[in-house]
């Protein structure tokens, strides 16, 4: 087991290395650069600024400089936020995204699985359809419609919760967490339901029940594991995405997380920040994929790799 983890971590580091290299060179193919925002810069001033950020050096030199930097956990200065280094930006924003994201993962998993199981057990009943409609609402109604409606209802009309911003209290978390979890509840509930129906139907489950062997608990356990397997696989990339923040949620609820950088840094051609974000997200993704593989292996021995 330990060997497996170490081996996967090793591969993960290699993957991250490839990702960093690929991103570093490819982002420079997009038109424009970090300082092409104002058309008034004279050629000399532009050259000065680019020199200060080492953008005038040959690419391989810039890359070497960058790699040397990350070995020392220095991700470079941001070109858009002149006062800060990329590590400052990530360090200040990540806790917010993580908090919202982790709560959303929890909520989405619990509610999604519950709805899916309920639907599977009472197939084609009113309960199934209701669970289905509730579950899928998160995708039927886009988030950029649901979120403002929630704000109007709970913040303005009822005054229970703040419209946005971070107030250090749990109230600021409620709406963003719910909004972030809704689309995932849709996927999780449908996957769970479908997988559970399949599992309940499997021949030997039927046989076991018919023969009266095993009893409820064994059947249940087996059915749940079967139902959860695709969901667990789904949660690998989904968790990584949720905890690194969603730009939509963080914009609408005015939260100082890192979600917006996934779009804005690229739009601003802030190369160091794009790299930093990529490393953080890639890192989480790799780790969560390892974790979900491990969990699935533990639940279902047939899937184990070692």
Partner 1 sequence: MKLDLKQHWGGALLSVALALSSLPALAQDGVLDRGIGSEWSSLDPHVNFDAAAAWVQGDAYEGLVTYAPDGAVLPGQAESWDISDDGATYTFHLRDGLLWSNGDPVTAQEFVDGVLRTLNPETGSEKGYYFYSVVNIPGAEALANGETTDPSVLGITAPDDHTVVIQMATPAPHLLDLMGAFVMTPLHGPSYATHGASVFIDPTNMVTNGAYTIAEVVPQSHVLLVKNPNYWDAANVAIERVKYHVTEDVNTELLRYQAGEIDVTYDIPLAQIVPLTESIPDQVRIAPSTEIIYYSFNLTREPFQNIDLRRALTLAIDREVLENNIVRGGAIPAYAYAGGFDPSYDGPEIVEATMTQAERNTLAQELYAAAGYSASNPLTLNIVTTVSEDSTRRAQGIALMWKQTLGVNAVVEPVERKAWLDAFYAGTWDVFADDLVGDFAGAESFLAYMRPSAEAGYNWQSQAFEDAMDAAALLPDRPSRNEALAAAERILLDDYLFAPVAIVPSRHLVNPALKGWDTSVAGYNNSQWMHFE
Partner 2 sequence: MRRFRQNKLAMAGLVVLLAIVLACFFGPFLFPFTGEDADFMAIALPVDLWSAHPFGTDNFGRDLLVRTLEGGQVSLAIGFVGAFTAGVIGVLYGAVAGFLGGRIDGLMMRVVEILYGFPYVILVILLSMLFGGGNIALFAAIVFTLWLTPAVIVRAQAQALAKREFIEAARAGGMRTGQIILTHIVPNTLSVVIVYGSLLVPEVILSESFLSFLGIGIKEPQASWGNLIQAGTAAMSTDLRLLLLPGGLLATVLFCLNFIADGLRDAFDPNER
How near is the Cβ of 194 to partner 1 at its closest, in Å? 29
Q: Which is nearer to partner 1, 84 or 234 (CB)?
A: 84
Find the binder of partner 1 among 26, 58, 71, 83 (CB under 8 A): 83
Find the binder of partner 1 among 17, 32, 142, 215 (CB under 8 A): 32
In the window 25-64, what residues touch partner 2 (CB under 8 A)? 26-27, 29-31
Verify binding: residue 281, partner 2, rule CB under 8 A.
yes
Find the binder of partner 2 among 55, 115, 136, 173 (CB under 8 A): 136
Contact stretch for partner 2 (CB under 8 A) within 41-49, 80-88, 157-165, 262-270: 262-270
What's the CA gap between 23 and 279, in Å, rounded? 10
Find the binder of partner 1 among 112, 119, 132, 162 (CB under 8 A): 162
Question: DSSP for 6-68?
Answer: HHHHHHHHHHHHHHHHHHHHHGGGSSS-TTTT-TT--HHHHHHHHHHTTTTS-HHHHHHHHHH
Contact stretch for partner 1 (CB under 8 A) within 2-10, 86-94, 114-122, 224-232: 86-94
Q: 66 and 24 in contact (C-beta within 8 Å)?
A: yes
**Cβ-proximal residues to 109 (8 Å cutoff; 6+ apart), any chain:** 188, 231, 235
String of contacts with partner 2 for each residue 195-234, x by CB under 8 A = x-xx--xxx-------------------------xx-xxx
Give the three-state DSSP class for 213: coil
CA distances from 33 to 22, 38, 94, 267, 293 (A): 18, 11, 26, 10, 40
Q: 303 and 296 in contact (C-beta within 8 Å)?
A: yes
How near is the Cβ of 180 to partner 1 at its closest, in Å? 15
What's the length of the chain? Answer: 306
| Residue 83 binds which entry of partner 1, partner 2, none, CB below 5-8 Å type-dependent | partner 1
């Amino acid at each position: 087991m330990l060997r497996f983890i170490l081996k996967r971590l090793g591969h993960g580091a290699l993957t991250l290395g490839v990702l960093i290299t690929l991103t570093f060179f490819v982002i420079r193919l997009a038109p424009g650069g970090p300082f092409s925002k104002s058309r008034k810069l004279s050629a000399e001033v532009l050259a000065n600024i680019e020199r200060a950020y080492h953008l005038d050096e040959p690419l391989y030199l810039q890359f070497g400089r960058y790699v040397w930097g990350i070995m020392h956990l220095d991700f470079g200065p941001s070109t858009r936020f002149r006062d800060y280094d990329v590590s400052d930006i990530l360090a200040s924003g990540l806790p917010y995204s993580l908090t919202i994201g982790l709560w959303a993962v929890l909520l989405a998993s619990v509610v999604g699985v519950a709805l899916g199981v309920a639907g599977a057990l009472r197939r084609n009943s009113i309960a199934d359809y209701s669970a289905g409609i509730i579950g899928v609402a998160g995708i039927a109604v886009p988030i950029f419609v649901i979120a403002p409606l929630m704000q109007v209802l709970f913040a303005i009309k009822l005054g229970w919760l703040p419209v946005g911003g971070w107030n250090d209290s749990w109230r600021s978390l409620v709406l963003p967490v719910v909004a972030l979890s809704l689309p995932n509840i849709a996927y999780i509930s449908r996957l769970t339901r479908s997988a559970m129906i399949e599992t309940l139907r499997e021949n030997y489950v039927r046989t076991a029940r018919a023969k009266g062997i095993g009893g409820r608990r064994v059947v249940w356990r087996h059915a749940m594991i079967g139902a959860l397997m695709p969901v667990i696989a789904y949660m690998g990339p989904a968790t990584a995405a949720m905890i690194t923040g969603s730009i939509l949620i963080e914009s609408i609820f005015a939260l100082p997380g890192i979600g917006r950088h996934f779009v804005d840094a690229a739009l601003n051609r802030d190369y160091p920040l794009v790299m930093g974000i990529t490393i953080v997200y890639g890192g989480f993704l790799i780790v969560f994929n390892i974790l979900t593989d491990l969990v699935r292996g533990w639940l279902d021995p047939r899937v184990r790799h070692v």
